[in-house]
Amino acid sequence: MAHPTSEKHSVKICHVCRSARFYYLFSISDHRVVRCDDCGLVFLNPQPSNAELGRIYSADYFLGSESEAGRQAVSDLKQATARFYLSEIQRYYGGRKGQLLEVGCGDGDFLVSAEAAGWQITGIEYSEAACEKARQRLKHGTVRSGELQAAKLPAAQFDLCVLSDVIEHVRSPLDFLREIHRVLKPGGALFIATPASDSWSARLMRQKWMEFKPEHLTYFDRQNLQTALFNSGFSEIIVQPGWKILNFDYIKLHFQRFPVSLVTPVLNLLAHLLPRQTQFKQRRIVASGMMVFARKSELHPQAVLSVIVPAFNEVKTFSALMDTLLRKELPALQIEIIVVESNSTDGTREAVLKYRDHARVKLILEEQPRGKGHAVRAGLKAATGDYILIQDADLEYDLEDYDGLLEPLVAGRAAFVLGSRHGGRNVWKMRQFTGQHGLSLFVNFGHWFFTTLINVLFFQRLRDPFTMFKVFRRDCLYALEFECDRFDFDFELLIKLLRKGYQPIELPVNYRSRSFKEGKKVRMFRDPLTWLKALTRLRCAKIDPMNVVEQSFAANQAEKTKG
């Protein structure tokens, strides 16, 4: 749709989740900043007109300084940041080099570094003046002026696409990401650097955050950028803090150009006090941004839910559960059922084997029981769906809840959902075991104690972290390693997802608790101790997905050399 150049663009639905529910936050100069109620995306609405943006992106937008020496200093910093980005990309993508596309390449600081590192490069840049400068600096690469969609690049051409401080500028980020998806080769990688509206500087400075500018049309956070990527066909996503190489002088000049009360005067004062050498020393700083790595995945014609059913000595309920599960239909989702049976002694294995020829059922038969955690982990490894749900082989939970729990995932509003047994209006719906009042009290106290402990240790406000109903995108598991075998796996899964940065939403579910007589497998005194130990260990454990990816390349390499 062609807009007259002077007309502001009004946004009718959220760029990420297509919700129409957004509310006004505040204004920057005369631009309204709104927030999506469903996915938390912050964006300008209406967006500035083409004429306004044209004035902002005038010829000196990329210069950053008036003097040649100043421009050189800025270029040095940008190239240092580019080399850092390239080394992080190598950790994620391995040592291979191929075709690289940078959209919004400015006057080519990243491209120069990428070319030197061995990539064959293509740049696209909106400003013709910046394009010309970039062309002069490159040996072989091509730089095209204009916008990505207008360039009409051939499909499946690039191994890597780089968007450094770009996605916040485009009018329609999802269309933009889909175009990137189209031009990437299968398995091609995407690197994004962009401001994060949940970064420390954004939390601290709020409306005065330095990233709020009329030309920044969209402000992602770690959750909704991942959702945006997932919705446009990317997976294996890793989010890291957005390091940049800067020096004091650059930061001071930035805040002189875009003054912020308190910050600008303090920096000006420091400029008089600090020795000159210190002011120009390069430092790695994480301020307002995030770095995101993702890979192109194939878009499924229909999304798939993998339901993992660990079954051990559950003969009384297993078949009833399976039959309900097989009858279950979900709009817009296929169901794949993965049963992990751990050599039960009560006939569960025979009951499980009856489903072996069913097209939608995969059986994993363990030779010996090694704990529920071990069984679930085996199931997770075999799962191929877009979403994962873990279903105990008893009838404590209601399968009718699937629809509600999956809705925010399928609608692209969330990555991780917990079904809360104690939420909603019925706050007193705790565990009640008939005729066992003391036991109820003890178990409820334990629930309260461990919930509080998790909330304190991991900065959460969860009501029911121990629910069986943990539903999430399978991609959330990427580059996480699990080792717990028993009931402590429930903790491990939850906490590693939290620590990787996923913020669960909690929705109320139906629930009927089993008493111990009916076969509850938690051992009263031993398990709480295991849980305490597990929690302490998980609080201290190092969660470093990028390192896991890097190690897997190293392992593959070692394997090849050996073979």
Looking at the Cβ atoms of 19 and 460, the one nearer to Zn ion is 19
Least CB distance to Zn ion at residue 416 (A): 16
Half-sphere exposure for 329 (CA within 13 Å, toward CB): 1
Looking at the Cβ atoms of 43 and 126, the one nearer to Zn ion is 43
Least CB distance to Zn ion at residue 412 (A): 8
Contacts with 383 (C-beta within 8 Å, 6 or more apart), sequence order = 306, 308, 336, 338, 474
**By CB under 5 A, is residue 19 in contact with Zn ion?**
yes
**By CB under 5 A, is residue 38 in contact with Zn ion?**
yes
Looking at the Cβ atoms of 224 and 317, the one nearer to Zn ion is 224
Does residue 372 sit in helix, strand or coil?
helix
Does residue 15 sit in helix, strand or coil?
coil
Least CB distance to Zn ion at residue 539 (A): 32
Strands (E) located in 268-332: 283-296, 303-311
Inter-axis angle of helices 263-273 and 248-257, to 10 degrees?
140
**By CB under 5 A, is residue 89 in contact with Zn ion?**
no
Looking at the Cβ atoms of 285 and 411, the one nearer to Zn ion is 411
**By CB under 5 A, is residue 476 in contact with Zn ion?**
no
Which stretches within 274-390 are classed as H helix? 276-280, 315-327, 348-353, 372-382
Least CB distance to Zn ion at residue 404 (A): 19
- Scanning 10-18, 174-182, 340-348, 549-557 for contacts with Zn ion by CB under 5 A, the matching segment is 10-18
How far apart are the C-alpha atoms of 16 and 413, rounded to whole Å?
8
Provide the token pair at 201: 């500087």
Least CB distance to Zn ion at residue 31 (A): 19
Looking at the Cβ atoms of 19 and 510, the one nearer to Zn ion is 19
Contact set for Zn ion, span 491-530 (CB under 5 A): none
| Amino acid at site 275 | P
Looking at the Cβ atoms of 82 and 507, the one nearer to Zn ion is 507
Least CB distance to Zn ion at residue 223 (A): 10
Provide the token pair at 431: 């565990």
- Scanning 11-19, 259-267, 293-301, 313-321 for contacts with Zn ion by CB under 5 A, the matching segment is 11-19
How far apart are the C-alpha atoms of 153 and 139, rounded to whole Å?
21
Nearest to 386 by CA among 197, 230, 517: 230
**By CB under 5 A, is residue 41 in contact with Zn ion?**
yes
**By CB under 5 A, is residue 217 in contact with Zn ion?**
no
**By CB under 5 A, is residue 36 in contact with Zn ion?**
yes
Least CB distance to Zn ion at residue 382 (A): 33
Least CB distance to Zn ion at residue 224 (A): 7
- Scanning 1-9, 28-36, 77-85, 104-112 for contacts with Zn ion by CB under 5 A, the matching segment is 28-36
Residue keyed to tokens 């994993």: 364
Provide the token pair at 359: 């097209």
- Scanning 40-48, 208-216, 396-404, 529-537 for contacts with Zn ion by CB under 5 A, the matching segment is 40-48
Least CB distance to Zn ion at residue 36 (A): 3
Instruction: Kindly tell me the sign of the dihedral angle through the C-alpha atoms of 541, 542, 546, 547.
Output: negative
Nearest to 166 by CA among 105, 94, 79, 75: 105
Nearest to 500 by CA among 483, 530, 475: 475
**By CB under 5 A, is residue 172 in contact with Zn ion?**
no
Least CB distance to Zn ion at residue 25 (A): 14
**By CB under 5 A, is residue 409 in contact with Zn ion?**
no
Rounded-to-10 torsion of CA 233, 238, 240, 246: -60
Looking at the Cβ atoms of 15 and 296, the one nearer to Zn ion is 15
Looking at the Cβ atoms of 38 and 392, the one nearer to Zn ion is 38
Looking at the Cβ atoms of 39 and 494, the one nearer to Zn ion is 39
**By CB under 5 A, is residue 34 in contact with Zn ion?**
no
CB atoms within 10 A of CB 209: 19
- Scanning 16-24, 200-208, 359-367, 385-393 for contacts with Zn ion by CB under 5 A, the matching segment is 16-24
**By CB under 5 A, is residue 249 in contact with Zn ion?**
no
Q: How many residues bind Zn ion (CB under 5 A)?
A: 8
**By CB under 5 A, is residue 14 in contact with Zn ion?**
yes
In contact, 23 and 34? CB cutoff 8 Å: yes
Least CB distance to Zn ion at residue 290 (A): 18
Least CB distance to Zn ion at residue 349 (A): 46
How far apart are the C-alpha atoms of 212 and 169, rounded to whole Å?
12
Looking at the Cβ atoms of 42 and 361, the one nearer to Zn ion is 42
**By CB under 5 A, is residue 267 in contact with Zn ion?**
no
Least CB distance to Zn ion at residue 14 (A): 3
- Scanning 39-47, 248-256, 399-407, 471-479 for contacts with Zn ion by CB under 5 A, the matching segment is 39-47
Residue keyed to tokens 């717990």: 484
CB atoms within 10 A of CB 190: 25
Least CB distance to Zn ion at residue 12 (A): 12
How far apart are the C-alpha atoms of 204 and 142, rounded to whole Å?
41
Strands 142-145 and 158-164: unpaired
Nearest to 143 by CA among 158, 127, 157: 127
Residue 493's Cα: distance from chain center in Å? 16
Q: 108-129: string of b/e by CB count within 10 Å (b at 16+)?
A: bbbbbbbbebebebbbbbbbeb
Inter-axis angle of helices 109-116 and 128-137, to 10 degrees?
30
**By CB under 5 A, is residue 39 in contact with Zn ion?**
yes
Looking at the Cβ atoms of 44 and 112, the one nearer to Zn ion is 44
Side-by-side strand order, sheet with 184-195:
142-145, 120-125, 99-103, 158-164, 184-195, 283-296, 234-246
**By CB under 5 A, is residue 17 in contact with Zn ion?**
yes
Looking at the Cβ atoms of 145 and 226, the one nearer to Zn ion is 226
Looking at the Cβ atoms of 75 and 223, the one nearer to Zn ion is 223
Looking at the Cβ atoms of 86 and 228, the one nearer to Zn ion is 228
**Binding interface with Zn ion (CB under 5 A):** 14, 16-17, 19, 36, 38-39, 41
